[in-house]
Amino acid sequence: MNKTAVIEGLLFLVGDDGLETKQIADVLEMDGKTVTELMEQMKMNYSGEASGFELVEVAGVYKFMTKPELAPYIQRLIESPGKSNLSQAAMETLAIVAYKQPITRAEIEDIRGVKSERALQRLASHALVKEVGRAEGTGRAILYGTTDEFLQYFGLHSLQELPPFPEELQEQPSEEEIELFEK
């Protein structure tokens, strides 16, 4: 596989995070200068009409970004009815609240790795989560939990009916995990 294809695949995968010259150089075992030259060349490949995204360099980071002409289509996509009317962000947040309640926003964000205020608001507006108390300590952060509507909506009698929390997201792999998965 040629190097530009590898770089293309990696840049695709990391998306908005992008890659620094050094990261590309390390992974491909090239020197920085060669990478820079290669990237200049690659930029041209994506600049044409046929490509939906382009290669940009922002603050020393290379990344693919969709072309501005895509904006109206993206808007239409958001409005096009997908499978569920809860977004992945909302569903993810809801799942974390369901399993880990009572939980603060900071803890949710810690697990998700992204800001979750909007998702929480969305869930609250659907009456799926609510404030259930305040955390001990200085911040007295709001603790979130699920509502009766949540149980009703998902056809659950109680929270005990939820399948076990995925081990990949647990801090420590449980013993069962080791049993289920063999490396």
Partner 1 sequence: MEYNVKLDAFEGPLDLLLHLVNRLEIDIYEISVLQITDQYMAFIHAMQELQLDVAGEYLLMAATLLEMKSKMLLPTEEEEYIEDDYEEFEGDPREELIRRLVEYRKYKLVSEQLKQREAKWQLVYAKPPVPLGEPEVKPLSEDISVYDMVSALQKLARRKQLEVPKTTKIERQEISIKDRMNEVMAVLDQAYGKKTFYEFYDGSDREQTVTTFLAVLELMKKGMISCRQEGNFADIMIYKTEGKRRE
Please give the residue ranges that form the binding site for its own copies (CB under 8 A): 1-2, 4-15, 17, 19-20, 23, 26-28, 49-53, 64, 66-67, 69-70, 73-74, 76-77, 80-90, 118-119, 121-122, 124-127, 163-167, 176, 179-183
- Sign, CA torsion 169/107/112/152: positive
- As a whole number of Å, the CA-based R_g of the chain is 22
Cβ 16 to its own copies shortest distance, Å: 9
Near partner 1 in 93-122, by CB under 8 A: 94-96, 98-99, 110-115, 118, 122
Cβ 51 to partner 1 shortest distance, Å: 13
In contact, 55 and 64? CB cutoff 8 Å: yes
Q: Which is nearer to its own copies, 37 or 176 (CB)?
A: 176
Single-letter amino acid code for the residue at 155: G
Rounded to 5 degrees, φ, ψ at 78 are: -60, -40
Residue 41 CA to residue 43 CA, distance in Å, equals 5
Instruction: Determine, following the binding rule CB under 8 A, whether residue 79 of this chain makes contact with partner 1.
Output: yes
Q: Which does 138 bind (CB under 5 to 8 A by kind): partner 1, its own copies, none?
A: partner 1
Instruction: Determine, following the binding rule CB under 8 A, whether residue 84 of this chain makes contact with partner 1.
Output: yes
Cβ 156 to its own copies shortest distance, Å: 11
Alpha helices in 29-174 (DSSP H): 32-47, 71-79, 88-100, 105-112, 117-125, 148-153
* Total site size for partner 1, rule CB under 8 A: 73
Q: Which does 142 bind (CB under 5 to 8 A by kind): partner 1, its own copies, none?
A: none
Using DSSP's 3-state secondary structure scheme, residue 174 falls into coil
